[in-house]
Amino acid sequence: MMIHPGSALRREIRDGQFIAPFIGIFDAFSATIASKHSPNLFYSGFGFAASQYGLPDIGYIAWSDMVQAAWRIRQILPRHKLLVDVDDGYVDASVACHVSTQLERMGVAMIMLEDQKRPRRCGHFEGKMLLPIDEYMEKLEMVLSQRTDLCVLARTDASGDEIYRRIERISGTDVDVIMVDGVRSIETLREVRKITDKPMLFNQIAGGKSPRVTLSELREAGANLTLYSTPCLFAAQAAINDSLTAIFSDDGRLPDATRTVGVAECSALLQENMAHHMPEFGSSWLLQA
């Protein structure tokens, strides 16, 4: 029997499993590399804005660009579960529904819908503003009402006591997962767990507001899922800079290919994706039950 990735993920969550981490990717190449380390991938808005626009994550992303980018990942990695950051649903509730429907039909497993008001910010930056809770709830409920297999992660960027007020409202819906972004202490997770039975996801980003914690610590605090939102992007920035610095510090000489990745290794990695570009790709977005 074939099953949609969203339904497969929902079943894993309901079984009480601690889900394999979602690894943040920023394009098809980084997704290919990350796919060797986890069955779950996260299309980060931060990474997308940086890699596709060369701009910070402050609301520039067009919904059509994100949908097309997600489709490229689904073509080459149909057996992986993809979580897509859709920001605030691109402002309008109708657009949020339209985008979530398109992503569900291409086999995306889960979307992340936040409660920020524009101009939005990365969850670990200062200056975030929140939508009125009733406005966010209306948008969230509309998305939930028209999804079938897609999992929905409700994200709040609230702080202080407002976190708990919003979590209580969100917990009254059929949302699959909740997330508080920019958590400054793991103790916040423990407090959230006291007021909700919904599965919780914890976001880790290097240099962000949240503490560096282990998977064991997250399980102990009551989290069911975690994501590393930007490790590939930050690693690429460091590696590219180091590589070019080395080249030009040695009078332009390329590094020894035996000590780094060369054309053969890169081509071999990409060749594995070719199987999913065959004409029979049609229904391969479905997972084996």
The pLDDT, as a whole number, for residue 278 is 54
- At residue 259, what are phi and psi to the nearest 5 degrees? -105, 0
DSSP, res 38: -
Query: What is the rounded end-to-end Cα distance, in angstroms, of the chain?
Result: 6
The pLDDT, as a whole number, for residue 127 is 64
Please give the average pLDDT of every successive group of 10 residues along the chain, which has 289 residues.
92 88 97 97 95 91 96 95 96 96 98 90 70 96 98 95 96 97 89 95 87 91 93 95 90 77 84 68 53
The pLDDT, as a whole number, for residue 51 is 96
The pLDDT, as a whole number, for residue 282 is 45
The fold for domain 2-288 equals TIM Barrel (3.20.20)
Q: How distant is the alpha carbon of residue 117 from its chain centre?
A: 19
- At which residue do the structure tokens 């509730």 appear? 93
The pLDDT, as a whole number, for residue 123 is 54
139 Ramachandran zone, left/alpha/beta (phi>0; psi -120 to 50):
alpha
The pLDDT, as a whole number, for residue 86 is 97
The pLDDT, as a whole number, for residue 273 is 84
Question: With 0-12 CB in 10 A as exposed, 13-18 as middle and 19+ as buried, what is 73?
Answer: buried
The pLDDT, as a whole number, for residue 118 is 82
The pLDDT, as a whole number, for residue 281 is 45
What's the rounded Cα separation, in Å, for the pair 77 and 92? 30
Structure tokens given for 152 = 């929905």
Instruction: Sketch the domain layout of the chain as residue ranges.
Output: 2-288
